Amino acid sequence: MSAADERPILGDQNNKDWMAQLSEQLWDIPLYNLAIPGSHDTMSFCLDMNSPIDESMSGILKIVDRIIPCITRPMIFKWSRTQEDSIAAQLEAGIRYFDLRIARKKNDTSNNLYFVHGVYTFVTVQKALEDFAQWLETYPKEAVILSCSHFEGLTEDLHNHLIWSLKNIFGSKLCPNTEIVTLRNLWKLGYQVIVSYDDPAAEKHEDLWSGIPYWWANRVDPEMLVEYLENKKQRGRPGGFFVAGLNLTAETDYIISHLSESLKKLTLQSYPYLMHWVQKQSPGPGKQCLNIIAGDFIRSEHFVSDIIALNKKLLRTDTGIH
């Protein structure tokens, strides 16, 4: 293990109920105008290294994996794992946006669905949703945004099964897409779960929201990532929920030429620079304001606390909003 991998992960200890602790001045601001911490590829903490490779991976990698899995599997793990904390631990840390990439394993004849990033998870979608619901029972003033996407290998029947599971598990906690999403209103009505479902199958369901735009730089260099996000800001934010991704992306040629590195090492080295940029951002409805900020290894560099702290910039003073 490298020195960077051995560096301690700095946890955010007091954010488990940060929404409930926000100033009353912020209770009537829509959630899409607040700063909300999120996790990129939320479920990659439980990747199953014995599972098949993601169907979207390159054909060459699949062939090599069949011949020398002892080499490919550790490499896939090093660059596909973006989180180390369970759902409950991420919630306790203060994460409120979750990037859930859902898939059906090839040749699986059951209704079981999994999450995918390079390989599939060993935790099923059903179990993960139940974990969210259980945690929310303890924290009735916290709300989460579950961004469901990819849906690799899902048939119409499996979409229907998944949507039924979402409604069955969360029930009256599901917030309709027609609702005013301020904390005060969510608390009044008992809503805690906003499900974004990035597929046409959701169109006829009022309690499912459309896909949430994700600003993905697709860069391995943190300076280029920030440049990309600044360019997106110049063009103006969307009107509703959207995500600014702080996650770095390494292409195959980079990985092959940096065999001693890992996504974790790369992320930890970059976070001081990236979080310095985050601290200069502001939430709100303005053209260059941010909303959800998602990243990898979310306990690093006070990631969560720094994002939540941005909401203080929305507080009114005698001289106006600062």
User: Model's pTM, two decimal places?
Assistant: 0.93
CB-count burial class (<10 Å; 0-12, 13-18, 19+) for 55 = middle
Give the CATH fold of the 18-314 domain. Answer: TIM Barrel (3.20.20)
- What's the Cα-to-Cα distance from 198 to each of 84, 149, 222, 246, rounded to whole Å? 25, 5, 28, 21
Average pLDDT, rounded, for the chain: 91
317: left (phi over 0), alpha (psi -120 to 50) or beta: beta
DSSP 201: G
| pLDDT confidence of residue 50 | 87
**202-254 confidence digits (pLDDT tens):** 999 999 999 999 999 999 999 999 999 999 999 999 999 999 999 999 988 89
Distance CA 291, CA 307 (A): 10
Rounded Cα distance, 236 and 22, in Å = 27
Which of 209, 229, 230 is closest to 218 using CA atoms? 229
Q: Check residue 1 and give its pLDDT.
A: 39
- Cα-Cα-Cα-Cα torsion 208, 299, 276, 286, nearest 10 degrees, comes to 20
| Enzyme catalytic residues | 40, 117
Give dist(CA 300, CA 12) in Å, integer: 9
Pairing of strands 144-152, 97-103: parallel
DSSP 242-276: -EEE------HHHHHHTTT--HHHHHHHHHHHHHH
Q: For position 73, what pLDDT does the model report?
A: 82
Residues (pLDDT < 50) of the chain are 1-11, 318-322
Q: How many angstroms separate the CA atoms of 142 and 29, rounded?
A: 15
- Look at residue 62 in the predicted model and tell me its pLDDT: 61
The pLDDT value given to residue 59? 58
Distance, in Å, from the CA atom of 143 to the CA atom of 193, rounded to the nearest integer, reads: 6
Place of tokens 């040629």: 253
Judge whether 207 and 194 are in contact, CB under 8 Å.
no
Strand, coil or helix: 305: helix
- Pull the structure tokens for residue 184: 């005060």
User: What token pair was written down for 230?
Assistant: 């600044």
